């Protein structure tokens, strides 16, 4: 009897342990799968020279952008998001490295004649994510060095199809991997071609975590839209181009839905810098901000940015905390579960807790956020919390006649990039248009920011020399004013000469025709 009870108890305990261990094993397996599921796909869509006022959600008029707007409405609209440079190459470098480009010598745009690129020693987003099992692809404009050792496959990407630099530069080709695959590019179909390539990447890699980087060459001048989008907007060809970019965003969303991975995908849309105002109607709009591309006023560096991640980000958020492109690398690393190297010096911050904060604007997490506005390797402004100090822009060392300065300003169309001004202090929360200089009435705040600038510059330590991008030395610094004036005169002279030639030709042809008749 006792033996029978013992055996019964023994089998009961054994069976219970087996059941519990099975449940624990299943729970452990579930936990692992949950962790894997929470490792999001990341899609980063980058426009080129898109203005703050060119998107409907940011107050844009005459351009319909329902897909881009939906990202912000169903996710986050960032009102104070900054590119790290008002021009292309440094901005893209900062995005991929999480560091100010001044740290590695990138001050300006690379050209076809440039023999340099993003230093191989820099650690990039795809290199970080690859450690977590991500596959990374880029489909679009690279512009961080077109020599083979600087191309995307040598910077951590697994796939690359796109163009080496801006679409107004010579030798504009399609590159796949490390090889030129097409020597001429029909720019009418740039956006469509890159979109199809990106969708194909999603189709092939939907069953593993991926980082998809889509840096569109548009709406950089010269503008091109495919035939079905030409004439569809109320803002001419520029609007047509932006509406085609919006279509592209819609195609990416559709592909993610079809593969049932949209909910676990973080999608971000932004621009590399502000609009190219010198191009007039072809250059976009920064309203209500001041300035544009090549300017360290807000219009040159504050860019329209939205993000959506259905599983983790509450819809309808508006985040006003100053954030930057450099924040994405540490944020992506955290979301992917990757520990960053201890010796990696970053200038960005992990903003995942702000994004997942349920609608809070994150000021409690990043108090008095600081940001340095660089252009051409020179610090031109500094933001500390709600305040921005625009450093004095001295008069040009070469004292050009007033008419040359006037012509230069006409070329810049009020952009004021190279125009002198006194020390300026603005309250960004109350005056994002930068209309009211408060420097004279707030000497203590000026001093506080100047001290913050000194601390920041000291923290940089010794920075390397500027990389030689092969730019013409004449078009630099003080000479720029003279160059702009000459450009203005030549442009109008060329137009007048063309009209004269046409008129003379028409007059001669008419005279010859009359003689014959």
Q: Residue for token digits 């452990």? A: 28
Q: Which of 129, 166, 135, 82 lies closest to 370, judged by CA?
A: 82
How many CB atoms within 10 Å of residue 276? 22
Residues forming beta bridges with residue 308, ordered by sequence position: 267
Distance from the Cα of residue 188 to its chain's centroid: 22
Do the bridges between strand 305-308 and strand 76-78 make them parallel or antiparallel, or are there none, so unpaired? antiparallel
Distance from the Cα of residue 467 to its chain's centroid: 21
Structure-token pair, residue 88: 């292309």
SS (H, E, C) 479-509: HHHHHHHHHHHHHHHHHHHHHHHHHHHHHHH
196 is catalytic: no
143 is catalytic: yes
The Cα 211–Cα 197 span in angstroms is 14
The Cα 350–Cα 477 span in angstroms is 36
Q: Which of 189, 134, 193 lies closest to 161, judged by CA?
A: 193
Q: Where are the beta strands (DSSP E) in 356-494?
A: 370-375, 378-384, 387-390, 424-427
Identified catalytic residue from 107, 143, 146, 220: 143
The Cα 261–Cα 311 span in angstroms is 10
Query: Which are the catalytic amino acids?
Result: 88, 143
């Amino acid at each position: 009897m006792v033996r029978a009870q013992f055996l019964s108890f023994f089998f009961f305990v054994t069976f219970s342990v087996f059941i519990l261990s099975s449940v624990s094993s299943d729970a452990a397996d579930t936990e692992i799968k949950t962790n894997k599921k929470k490792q999001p796909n990341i899609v980063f869509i980058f426009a080129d020279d898109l203005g703050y006022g060119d998107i409907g959600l940011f107050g844009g008029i005459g351009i319909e952008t329902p897909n881009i707007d939906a990202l912000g409405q169903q996710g986050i609209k960032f009102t104070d998001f900054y590119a790290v440079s008002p021009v292309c190459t440094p901005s893209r470098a900062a995005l991929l490295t999480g560091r100010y480009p001044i740290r590695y010598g990138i001050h300006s745009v690379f050209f076809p004649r440039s023999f340099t690129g993003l230093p191989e020693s820099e650690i990039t987003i795809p290199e970080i994510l690859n450690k977590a099992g991500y596959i990374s692809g880029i489909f679009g404009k690279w512009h961080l060095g077109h020599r083979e050792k600087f191309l995307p496959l040598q910077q951590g990407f697994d796939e690359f199809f796109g163009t080496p630099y801006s679409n107004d530069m010579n030798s504009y080709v399609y590159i796949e991997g490390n090889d030129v695959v097409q020597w001429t590019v029909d720019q009418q179909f740039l956006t469509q071609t890159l979109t199809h390539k990106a969708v194909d990447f999603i189709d092939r890699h939907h069953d593993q975590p991926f980082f998809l980087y889509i840096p569109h060459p548009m709406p950089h001048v010269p503008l091109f839209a495919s035939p079905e989008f030409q004439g569809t907007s109320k803002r001419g060809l520029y609007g047509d181009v932006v509406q085609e970019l919006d279509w592209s965003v819609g195609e990416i969303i559709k592909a993610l839905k079809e593969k049932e991975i949209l909910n676990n995908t973080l999608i971000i849309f932004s621009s590399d810098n502000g609009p190219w105002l010198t191009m007039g109607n072809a250059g976009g709009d920064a309203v209500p901000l001041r300035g544009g591309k090549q300017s360290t006023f807000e219009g040159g560096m504050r860019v329209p940015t939205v993000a959506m991640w259905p599983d983790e980000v509450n819809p309808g958020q508006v985040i006003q905390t100053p954030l930057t492109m450099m924040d994405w690398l540490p944020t992506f690393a955290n979301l992917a579960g990757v520990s960053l190297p201890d010796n990696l010096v970053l200038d960005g911050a992990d903003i995942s807790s702000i994004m997942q904060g349920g609608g809070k604007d994150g000021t409690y997490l990043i108090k008095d956020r600081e940001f340095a506005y660089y252009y051409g390797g020179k610090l031109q402004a500094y933001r500390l919390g709600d305040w921005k100090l625009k450093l004095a822009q001295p008069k040009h060392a070469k004292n050009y006649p007033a008419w040359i300065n006037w012509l230069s300003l006409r070329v810049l169309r009020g952009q004021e990039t190279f125009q002198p001004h006194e020390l300026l202090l603005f309250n960004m929360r109350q005056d994002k248009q930068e209309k009211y200089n408060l420097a004279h009435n707030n000497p203590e705040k000026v001093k506080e920011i100047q001290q913050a600038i000194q601390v920041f510059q000291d923290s940089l330590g010794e920075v390397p020399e500027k990389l030689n991008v092969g730019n013409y030395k004449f078009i630099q610094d003080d000479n720029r004013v003279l160059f702009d004036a000459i450009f203005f005169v030549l442009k109008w002279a060329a137009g007048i000469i063309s009209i004269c030639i046409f008129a003379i030709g028409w007059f001669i042809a008419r005279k010859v025709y009359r003689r014959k008749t």
